[in-house]
Amino acid sequence: MKIGFVGTGVMGRSMARNLMAAGHELHVYNRTKARAEELIAQGAIWHDSPGELARYVEVVITMVGYPHDVEEVYLGENGIIASARPGTYLIDMTTSSPRLAERIEREAAAKGCHALDAPVSGGDIGAREARLSIMVGGDRAAFDAMLPIFRAMGNNIVHQGPAGAGQNTKMCNQIAIASNMVGVCEALGYAMKAGLDPQQVMRSIETGAAGSWSLSNLGPRMLAGNFEPGFYVKHFIKDLGIALQSAEEMGFDMPGVRLARSLYEKLASLGEQDSGTQALFKLYS
């Protein structure tokens, strides 16, 4: 298929590359063209705007930064929905607002297009190895039609319900990670204060009840002083803000998420907003 990919950052670049490897013709746009040069060198076709790209493809996938970016690329005057041909599939894989996903689905349907919200989990490693967990909201028939596309990027692909359900599921994912990351940092920090070898401690605890993806995959990065982003601190703060806002609308209190966000905001104030989420360990080491 002819697929347009908007947003070729840390994760988007690998996701787009996997689509090319699966044999799809790839069209790309990124706010900073330099970040798309690697894909262009491998055969991707560059466009100067998301709207221009949307005119040439059957599927548009977006992986941008913030809800306001999603709103701009889809709903702007010369955005994706205004430019796409009827029948085009629009898949937003950004972690964004459930309510915005519902709005995009309505606007897309009015133009004869099919919109899905399909945020992902798995970080840079999952994106690179096509092992992402993909949580999808939207029409079931549209999901079924796009399943081969999703399978080129992930291996745990679940249709969660109508528009917005994918984003709400991703909020559940981020909520679970938030307190877990605090626990991982405190556990490894405690091990060091107690004079233990934290690598040995990890060997003992990661296969038991304390085990988690964050402990096994980000714990070694923390101990190695590797704080390069698989997922940015600034984007995690954004996600936790969306989760808290959505929870407030439902009358649901999440003290654990509030604590985690306050710690990440403190980390960002120290200049770590562009570090990976594992940089939270700097507050404990």
pLDDT-flagged residues of the chain (< 70): none
pTM of the model: 0.92
Q: How far apart are CA 147 and CA 70, in angstroms?
A: 22
For 273, the domain range is 168-283
What does the angle CA 201 – CA 205 – CA 206 come to, to the nearest 5 degrees? 110
Considering its fold, how many domains does the chain have in total?
2
pLDDT of residue 165: 98
- Asked if residues 181 and 156 have their Cβ atoms less than 8 Å apart, the reply is no
β-strand pairing of 114-117 with 89-92: parallel
Same domain, 35 and 135: yes
Say if residues 8 and 30 touch (Cβ distance below 8 Å): yes
| CATH code, domain with 124 | 3.40.50.720
Residues 6 and 37 in one domain: yes
- By annotation, the residues acting in catalysis are 170
On whether both 231 and 130 belong to a single domain, the answer is no
**CATH number of the domain that 187 lies in?**
1.10.1040.10
Q: Which residues contact 37 (CB under 8 A, 6 or more apart)?
A: none
Quick one: 132 and 196 in the same domain?
no
Q: Which long-range contacts (CB under 8 A, 24 or more apart) does 225-230 make?
A: 226/278, 227/272, 227/275, 227/276, 227/278, 227/279, 227/281, 227/282, 228/275, 228/276, 229/10, 229/124, 229/274, 229/275, 229/276, 229/277, 230/10, 230/123, 230/124, 230/125, 230/276, 230/277, 230/278
Rounded CA separation 239/123 (Å)? 14
Q: Count other C-beta atoms under 10 Å from residue 39's C-beta.
A: 22
Last residue of a domain, one of 130, 161, 192: 161
pLDDT value at residue 37:
96
Selection from 106, 107, 119 nearest residue 165 by Cα:
119
Query: Do residues 92 and 121 make contact, with C-beta atoms less than 8 angstroms apart?
Result: no
For residue 202, the model assigns a pLDDT of 97
Query: Is residue 44 within 8 Å of residue 17, measured between CB atoms?
Result: no
For residue 89, give the 3-state DSSP assignment.
strand
pLDDT at 124: 84
Q: What is the pLDDT of residue 82?
A: 97
pLDDT for residue 280: 98
pLDDT at position 230 is 83
Q: Of 161, 194, 221, which residue is a domain's last?
A: 161
Same-domain status, 229 and 268? yes
Does an H or E element contain 52, and which?
A: helix 50-54
The string of pLDDT tens digits covering residues 232-277 is 999 999 999 999 999 999 999 999 999 999 999 999 999 999 999 9
Q: Which residues of 235-247 are buried (b: 16+ CB within 10 A; e: fewer)?
A: bbbbbbbbbbebb
